[in-house]
Amino acid sequence: MEWLKNRSLRQSFFVISALFLCVGLLLSAVSFMVCVELRSKVEVYPQYEMSIDENDELISSYHNGTVGDHHNAKYLLVNILQFALPIFFVVLSLILADITFYRIKLKKPLAILQNSAERIQQQDLDFTVEKYSGDELGALCSAFETMRLELKHNNKELWRQMEERKRLNAAFSHDLRNPVTVLKGCAKLLQKNLTEEKLDCSSVKESLSLITQYTARIENYVEAMSTAQKLEDWTYAPQATSWSVLSKELEQSLLFLNGKAEKEIKFSCCGANEEIFVDQAMIQNVSENLVNNALRYAKTAVYIKLSYDNEKIAVGVSDDGNGFPPVILQKGISPFLRDDNRDEQEHFGMGLYVCSLLCKKHGGNLKIENTELGAKVTACFLVLKS
């Protein structure tokens, strides 16, 4: 049986048909011989006759002959069976050969293929298409299994891309708030100085420079969002600047984030003024995210410590809030990381993950911890020198 399962359909059909046909022919020959024997018994038998000769004497004799109608019917039946039985056995053997071929070679593989097609149609790909035999249908089952695996892989890839796009959209939605907040702060400052007639060239120049810078950041965000397929596509592009310029711009932009001035921001900076190569947009993005998070959870004050030493920039942001929940410290930095016990439906939980990703792209890392005052996050960036 196993030998037949591994033969091709043509070979199996030939073997089964030949086997059953041989049995049918053998039975036909046996039935033909039996009918011939029966016909000879019905056809030849002794017959007794009595007659009177010319001298009026009674004469009796025996000879072969035929008798009544019932013997004629038996003779006719044997003649019919002699030719009908061989044909019947041949036809029966071919029918049995077809049934056997279907049950051995076709029934199980067709059931497997039909069931697989129905489950694939229902988008159920969590099964395995069994290779029942080594023939053409077995190869078809293997092809179905390959197709199922490809469909499952494609579905997983599509789902991954959807999740990546969701993460990307959440990250951009989260990060666009920071430039918009800074622009609103600059606009309000200009409006206030204009109303109080305290405008001077230096303040206007600084505000316009900041507005121009953050407008360009928004344009870069929009362009990146239209081309990037995942967060990892963001490119690291260091440019030359000085430590004093970078720290001053960071201080200006970070102080603007406290729009309502409900909480105090305390800023400190240290480091030698050197020419360095950094991706300023990445550092600003990370710093703004960290300060925004700190302002969200702080009670009264946020502390920012900016330092540059040994080819490394460190941005430390701490607050006097309740600190990171244990569940966040246990899970670590991951996408959509947030405390579900807090009512923050507008918070995507992408800030720390984006910060960690950008720090790694800049050759650094991100560390979260709790201190005696509250939560603290430290972002490190590798610096290139000229």
Give the pLDDT of residue 344. Answer: 47
Give the pLDDT of residue 349. Answer: 56
Which pair of structure tokens corresponds to residue 343?
């009512």
Q: Is it true that domain 235-386 has CATH number 3.30.565.10? A: yes
Give the pLDDT of residue 335. Answer: 63
Mean pLDDT, contiguous 10-residue spans, the chain (386 residues):
78 90 92 84 55 60 51 78 89 92 89 89 85 84 89 85 72 70 78 73 76 74 59 76 88 77 85 88 87 87 90 92 83 62 49 83 90 90 82
Give the pLDDT of residue 71. Answer: 61
Give the pLDDT of residue 157. Answer: 82
- Helices 136-195 and 107-121: crossing angle in degrees, nearest 10, is 10
Contact call for residues 122 and 115 (beta carbons, < 8 A) = no
Q: Domain locations in the chain?
A: 2-48+64-124, 235-386
Place of tokens 């299994």: 145
Helices (H), the chain: 2-5, 9-43, 69-101, 107-121, 136-195, 201-227, 243-256, 280-297, 326-331, 351-361
